[in-house]
Amino acid sequence: MQPNNPINDEIFEQMIRQHESLIFGIAARLTGRFITKSDDEYSIGLLALSEAIQSYNSAKGVEFEKFAAQIIRRRLIDFYRQNKSYQQNLPLDESFLSQRNLIDEVDVRLEIAEYEKLLKQFNITFAELVKVSPKHNDSRQKLIMLAKGIAEDEEFVRQLIRTKKLPLQSISERFKIKQKTIEKYRKYLVAIILIYWGRFTGLQAYLGWGGE
pLDDT of residue 211: 45
Same domain, 147 and 88: no
> Is 111 part of a structural domain of the chain?
no
Q: Show the low-confidence residues of the chain (pLDDT under 70).
A: 1-7, 29, 32, 84-110, 202, 205-212
Phi, psi of 63 (to 5 degrees): -60, 145
Same domain, 76 and 154: no
- Which of 68, 102, 136 is the last residue before a domain boundary? 102
> Is 130 part of a structural domain of the chain?
yes
> By the 8 A CB rule, do 36 and 126 touch?
yes
pLDDT of residue 8: 75
d(CA 45, CA 49): 6
> Is 145 part of a structural domain of the chain?
yes
Report the predicted TM-score, pTM, of the whole model to 2 decimal places: 0.54
Task: Note down the domain range covering 32.
Answer: 9-102
pLDDT tens-digit series, residues 149-185: 999 998 999 999 999 999 999 999 999 999 999 999 9
Same domain, 56 and 92: yes
Same domain, 95 and 135: no
Q: Is the dihedral of CA 101, 107, 111, 112 positive or negative?
A: positive
